[in-house]
Amino acid sequence: MAYSVAVRALCEFTAKCGDLDLRFTPAPTAQEGIAGHALVASRRGEGYQAELALSGEFGPLRVRGRADGYDPDLNRLEEVKTYRGDLARMPANHRQLHWAQVKVYGWLLCQQQNLADIELALVYFDIGSQKETLLSERHRADDLRAFFEDQCRRFIDWAEQELAHAGARNTALETLAFPHAQFRHGQRQLAEAVYKAVSTGCCLMAQAPTGIGKTLGTLFPLLKAFQRQALDKVFFLAAKTPGRQLALDALRQLRTEPLRVLELVARDKACEFPENACHGESCPLARGFYDRLPAAREAAAKQRWLDRDALREVALAHQVCPYYLAQEMARWSDVVVGDYNYYFDTSALLHGLACANQWRVSVLVDEAHNLVERARKMYSAELDQLGLKALGKSAPAVLKKPLQRVGRIWSELNREQAEDYRAYPEPPQKLLSALQGAVTAITDYLTDNPTTHDSALQDFYFEAMQFGRMAEQFDSHSLFDLSKRPGKGGRDLSRLCLRNLVPAPFLAPRFAASRSTVLFSATLNPRHYYSDLLGLARNTPWLEVDSPFSAEQLQVRVATEVSTRYQHRASSLAPIVELMARQFAERPGNYLAFFSSYDYLQQVASLFAREHPLVPIWLQARQMDEAERQAFIQRFEAGGRGIGFAVLGGAFGEGIDLPGERLIGAFIATLGLPQLNPVNEQLKQRMAGLFGAGYDYAYLYPGLQKVVQAAGRVIRTTEDRGVVHLIDDRFARPEVQRLLPNWWSMEKPRASP
Ligand code: SF4
């Protein structure tokens, strides 16, 4: 069996040494890189061959890749590297890696075309000046062959180990048994649909209720399909930490020896020296990182189970950074569990690796209803004038002029806009070019002063770059707006936003890059809302898993006598309190009550406490930390009594599990509709234009999704019994009821007492 490896991956494995150095190196964006390569190729003569596919073999190794360009007239093979800033500052180990790559390509070409020798060139293309620096060397084919074979020999033990691992893994997965005596209700249906999706190479949207074991029901079929579908990796992506933990628990239950499992955590959670910078002079775990990496990598691969703690242990035993060791191990793991952003963000690690290595990957997106909002954030950018003002005072003299130019044009925009908020058809070109000028000036400054630790400057720099990138891709999927607020001395300050409203154009290529992507959640209804916004074809297979729960388990009562609309709030307080007290007296136990805002929550809670002082209540507060959130949840004890007051769409509206008597009912005194404000009104307009359903896409669907999630806290197992009070007359409307789970049976509205 052959082991296929990309030239770049081979060289990164064999030719990287020395320190990890993430000091300020202003890397070009992917688009700038592509444009730079194209420009270099366009400057070459007619016979120039760009993007030359090359491959060769050595023992069980198949080495493949695309060389950037070959000029047959000059017999010169070029490797193009785009950069910004001062080339002299490029660390020596980067240069060494570049030479290794071009030498490997050199041999592959000599072999293919029977050449006795060849000129190899590194072409460094400066994105700023568009100038090329060419370093070239002449090599004999024999020497290049020796170099190639040496690289292969240094990789071959690892490749053989990887082949043995893949064989053992595939054999184990073929015979993998479901860890329970039987599937839960609906779980088999889900597992079969996931298996079919990966077998036919398509995406799947699956709405499956809580309690059927979705995590196990999606991971198990993918592992069973691993060999048959020749998968390289499975990525399990979660919106929040508890989702990651559920995936790790399911993988443990499956006892998937010798599968390699990796958990990716954010840098701020994995870093051992948060005060330091990521380079050898500052952080001991970056110093000599690549020299110690081979031993750490080998130990980590043997360890196989690399959750956060296990990975940290290996990393520290070998004195390398745990965060960057995890990034390395993403290359060598079978299942990677991490946040959405590792696959969907603008420059996502897992997506980048999958493309570069041509991996066949299957992606699971847990609680996928969250992806709409999360992806909107990933593809949005904003700039606050306050940040620029502060920077104006502290910035070094050389940056004053370009920053002042940005400030001047920005203030002009403020003056030209009479109202506090306005959306524009596109971002203003004058401002964008001033921002670009500032970014270039800051790039040069930071390149000349790489040890600068001005966090205000760096923040503005990264925000301005993100703004520029998003502006380049501006289209009907996004909105540009300016929001003013009064500043000192009567001068307005403002915030500029490029808000992504429809992430579909950015996400669709990510789905296309996978063998299959399964998006699953308890609330993906209505499906066209999610497929339109996420970029899934309207004919993407859809599965609605039957609920294991029966209508008898949950009483759903609609309080039509109450309106929770803003203008009716004051008069709604007494009936809500009365309804809650009546329910509590009828069946004492633990309840959750959801409101649209902290203010509303406070008003109801105050009245309730006054009128029913003997009923224990506890309240969600703004900005609770992890310990406070835990304390709130722990008050829901089996056999306990009381009411927890929470905000819909907040920390307690989804992702918490309170089975049995820990929670026997919920009061939902809101439709969860997003606030009526100019931004949401713009969203509504855009949704109307794009999908013909402005109000539904901007307000109704996101609101009801939160209601259903919150109500879903009550029934967690087939033994649970509970009640949900939907408190607002609008819950009786057919267009609202259509969005509620079809296993609910709605009781007739109660007459007011
Ligand atoms: S330990 Fe922290 S500072 Fe050191 S290299 Fe890792 S992430 Fe950077």
Quick one: pLDDT band at residue 580, thresholds 50, 70, 90?
Answer: very high
Tell me how far the alpha carbon of residue 6 lies from the centroid of ligand 1, in angstroms.
Answer: 28
Contacts of 585 (CB under 8 A, 6+ apart): none
Q: How far is CA 141 from CA 114, 144, 703, in A?
A: 9, 5, 67
The atom of ligand 1 lying closest to the CA of 272 is 1
Q: How does pLDDT run across 191-241, given as a tens digit for each residue?
A: 999 999 999 999 999 999 877 889 999 999 999 999 999 999 999 999 988
Write out pLDDT tens, residues 39-80.
Answer: 999 999 889 999 999 999 999 999 999 999 999 999 999 999
CA of 376 to the centre of ligand 1 (A): 29
201's tokens = 């190479």
Structure tokens that stand for 69 in this block:
């360009």
**Does residue 247's CB lie within 6 angstroms of at least one atom of ligand 1?**
no
* Residue 265 CB–ligand 1 contact under 6 Å: no
Q: Is the CB of 64 under 6 A from ligand 1?
A: no
The alpha carbon of 318 and the centre of ligand 1 are apart by a number of angstroms equal to 14
Indicate if ligand 1 lies below 6 Å from the C-beta of 520.
no
Cis peptide bond prior to 526, omega within 30° of 0: yes
- What spacing in Å lies between the alpha carbon of 467 and ligand 1's midpoint? 27
Residue 611 CA to its chain's centroid (Å):
46
Distance 539 CA to ligand 1 centre (A): 45
Count of alpha carbons within 13 Å of 113, Cβ hemisphere only?
18
With 70 as the cut, is the pLDDT of residue 28 above it?
A: yes
What local confidence, expressed as pLDDT, does residue 753 receive?
A: 40
In this structure, are residues 639 and 594 in contact, taking their beta carbons and an 8 Å threshold? Answer: no
User: Ligand 1 pocket: which of 323, 327, 328 to mutate (most atoms <8 Å of CB)?
Assistant: 323
The residues that bridge with 306 in the sheet, in sequence order, are 262
Q: Could you tell me where the DSSP H helices lie in 612-741? A: 626-634, 678-691, 694-695, 701-711, 734-737
Residue listed under structure tokens 């835990």? 630
Nearest to 463 by CA among 374, 370, 391, 404: 391
Atom from ligand 1 closest to the CA of residue 284: 4
- Spacing of C-alpha 364 from chain mean position: 12
Cα separations (Å) of 347 from 581, 682, 685?
52, 28, 30
d(CA 309, CA 315): 10
Q: If we measure between CA atoms, which residue out of 183, 190, 220 comes closest to residue 208?
A: 190
Confidence of residue 732 (pLDDT cuts 50, 70, 90): very high
Å from CA of 363 to ligand 1 middle: 29
> HEC states along 322-386?
HHHHHHHHCCCCCEEEEECHHHHCCCCHHHHHHHHCCCCEEEEECCHHHHHHHHHHHCCEEEEHH
pLDDT (0 to 100) of residue 25: 62
Cα–Cα distance measured from residue 132 to residue 33, given in angstroms and rounded to the nearest whole number: 14
Say what the pLDDT of residue 749 is.
Answer: 54
Ligand 1 mean position, distance from CA 408 (Å): 39
C-beta of residue 177 within 8 angstroms of C-beta of residue 141? no
Compute, in angstroms, the gap from residue 591 CA to the centroid of ligand 1. Answer: 44
Report the nearest atom of ligand 1 relative to the CA of 322: 6
- Strands 132-140 and 117-126, sheet pairing: antiparallel
Residue 62 burial class via C-beta count within 10 angstroms: exposed 0-12, middle 13-18, buried 19 and up: middle
Whole-number Å distance, alpha carbon 49 to ligand 1 midpoint, is 41
pLDDT tens by residue, 134-168: 999 999 999 999 999 999 999 999 999 999 999 99
Spatial distance between the Cα atoms of 485 and 637, rounded to a whole number of angstroms: 46
What's the 275 CA to ligand 1 centre distance in angstroms?
9
Question: In the structure, what pLDDT confidence band is assigned to residue 611 with cuts at 50, 70 and 90?
Answer: very high
Residue 647 has pLDDT above 90, yes or no: yes
Closest CA to 741 of 465, 546, 478: 546
Alpha carbon nearest to ligand 1 atom 2, residue: 271
* Spatial distance between the Cα atoms of 135 and 141, rounded to a whole number of angstroms: 19
What is the Å distance from ligand 1's center to 281 Cα?
A: 11
DSSP letter at 717 equals S
Single pTM value for the model: 0.91
- Identity of the amino acid at 691: F
Question: By alpha-carbon position, which residue is closest to atom 7 of ligand 1?
Answer: 271
Ligand 1: does its nearest atom lie under 6 Å from the Cβ of 206?
Answer: no
Per the listing, tokens 């790559």 go with: 101
Q: Per-residue pLDDT tens for 666-710?
A: 999 999 999 999 999 999 999 999 999 999 999 999 999 999 999
Report the pLDDT value the prediction gives residue 718, as an integer from 0 to 100. Answer: 84
3-class SS of residue 65:
strand
User: 319 CB under 6 A from ligand 1?
Assistant: no
What is the pLDDT of the chain when averaged over all its residues?
Answer: 93
Is 159 touching ligand 1 by the criterion CB < 6 Å? no
Summarised one tens digit per residue, pLDDT across range 85-100 is 778 878 888 899 999 9
What whole-number distance in Å separates Cα of residue 199 and Cα of residue 228?
8
CB of residue 315 inside a 6 A radius of ligand 1: no
Which pLDDT score is estimated for 219? 97
Q: How many CB atoms lie within 10 A of CB 472?
A: 12
Query: Ligand 1 centroid to 266 CA: how many Å?
Result: 12
Report whether residue 325 contacts ligand 1, using a CB cutoff of 6 Å: no
Query: What gap in Å lies between CA 498 and CA 92, rounded to an integer?
Result: 39
Q: What is the percentage of the chain residues whose pLDDT exceeds 90?
A: 79
Span from the CA of 282 to the centroid of ligand 1 (angstroms): 9
Q: In this structure, what token pair is assigned to residue 602?
A: 């406070």
In a mutational test of the pocket of ligand 1, which residue from 21, 271, 325 has the highest number of ligand atoms less than 8 Å from its CB? 271
**Ligand 1 site, residue 273, Cβ cutoff 6 A:** yes
Instruction: Give distance in angstroms: CA of 378 to centre of ligand 1.
Output: 24
Per-residue model confidence as pLDDT tens digits over 459-500 = 899 999 999 989 999 999 999 999 998 877 777 899 999 999
Residue 312 confidence (pLDDT) above 70: yes
Q: In what order do the strands lie in the sheet with 642-647?
A: 617-619, 642-647, 590-595, 665-668, 722-727, 554-559, 745-746
Backbone angles phi, psi at 288, to 5 degrees: 65, 20
* CA gap 94, 27 in Å, rounded: 13
Q: Which residues contact 86 (CB under 8 A, 6 or more apart)?
A: 447, 448
Nearest atom in ligand 1 to 279's CA: 5
Nearest CA to ligand 1 atom 8: 278
In this structure, the residue with its CA closest to atom 5 of ligand 1 is 278
CA 100 to chain centroid, in Å, comes to: 33
Q: Is 276 in the pocket of ligand 1 (CB under 6 A)?
A: yes
Model confidence at 751, in pLDDT bands (50, 70, 90)? Answer: very low
Per-residue pLDDT band for 752 (boundaries 50, 70, 90) equals very low
Query: What is the whole-number distance in angstroms between the Cα of residue 476 and the centre of ligand 1?
Result: 40
- Per residue in 501-527, pLDDT (tens digit) is 999 999 999 999 999 999 999 999 999
- Ligand 1 atom with the smallest distance to the CA of 283 is 4
* pLDDT tens digits for range 401-455: 999 999 999 999 999 999 999 999 999 999 999 999 999 888 888 877 766 777 8
**Any atom of ligand 1 within 6 Å of the Cβ of 278:** yes
Q: What's the CA gap between 124 and 83, in Å, rounded? A: 7
For residues 594 and 725, the answer to whether their CB atoms sit within 8 Å is no
Q: What is the mean pLDDT of residues 586-606?
A: 97
For ligand 1, whether the C-beta of 323 sits within 6 Å is: yes
23 Cβ inside 6 Å of ligand 1: no
Strand 76-83 with 117-126, pairing: parallel
Read off the pLDDT of residues 236-270 as tens digits, 9 standing for 90 and up. Answer: 999 988 889 999 999 999 988 899 999 999 999 99
Which of ligand 1's atoms lies nearest the C-alpha of 278? 8
- 287 Cα: distance to centroid of ligand 1 (angstroms): 10
**In which region does residue 657 sit, left (phi positive, over 0), alpha (psi from -120 to 50) or beta (all else)?**
beta
**Tell me, what's the pLDDT at 89?**
77
364-390 as b/e: b if 16+ CB within 10 A: bbbbbbbbbebbbebbbbebbbebbbe
Report residue 331: phi and psi, to 5°: -70, -25
Q: How far is the CA of 330 from the centre of ligand 1 (A)?
A: 18
Query: Atom 6 in ligand 1: which residue has the minimum CA distance?
Result: 321
Distance 320 CA to ligand 1 centre (A): 9
Where does the pLDDT of residue 26 fall: very low under 50, low under 70, confident under 90, or very high at 90 and above? Answer: low
- Atom of ligand 1 at shortest distance to CA of 324? 6
